[in-house]
Amino acid sequence: MAKRKKSYRKPKSKIPLLTVAGLVPGIANMQRAYTDKIHGHATGIANLGTEAGRIYIGLDRRVIGEGSFNMAWMWGGTFPIILGAIGSKVAGKLGVNRMFKGLPIKL
């Protein structure tokens, strides 16, 4: 009898829910900057870029050549993502993900 070939299944990729939830504040801030033009630029794209730089990098480049860094601005974008990733890792270590085994998400 011939040996049966062992089948290989690629593991399914799951979406970390808490990390995605961490993206929500940054997206909301950028959408607000795009529609309300809060930074004084003529176009929404320029406002969106300025806001993205502020909340993800902490750098405000509205005045050319003079960038000001403020870590508190990052609470609107970068830190929620990091906290979501840490929460996702902790949930995995505690076994919370096993409760959601059948769902296409993981915490």
Task: Please write the tens of the pLDDT for every residue from 35-87.
Answer: 888 888 888 888 888 888 889 998 887 766 677 888 888 999 999 999 999 99
User: What is the predicted pLDDT for the residue at 38?
Assistant: 83
Residue 26 scores a pLDDT above 80 = yes
Using alpha carbons, list the distances in angstroms from residue 49 to 33, 46, 89, 105. 9, 5, 30, 31
Burial 14-44 (b: 16+ CB within 10 A, else e): eebbbbebbeebbeebbeebbeeeeeeeeee
Chain Cα centroid distance, residue 60: 20
Mean pLDDT taken over the chain = 83
Q: What is the pTM of this model?
A: 0.74
For residues 11 and 13, give the distance between their C-alpha atoms in angstroms, rounded to a whole number.
6
Extents of the domains making up the chain: 22-93
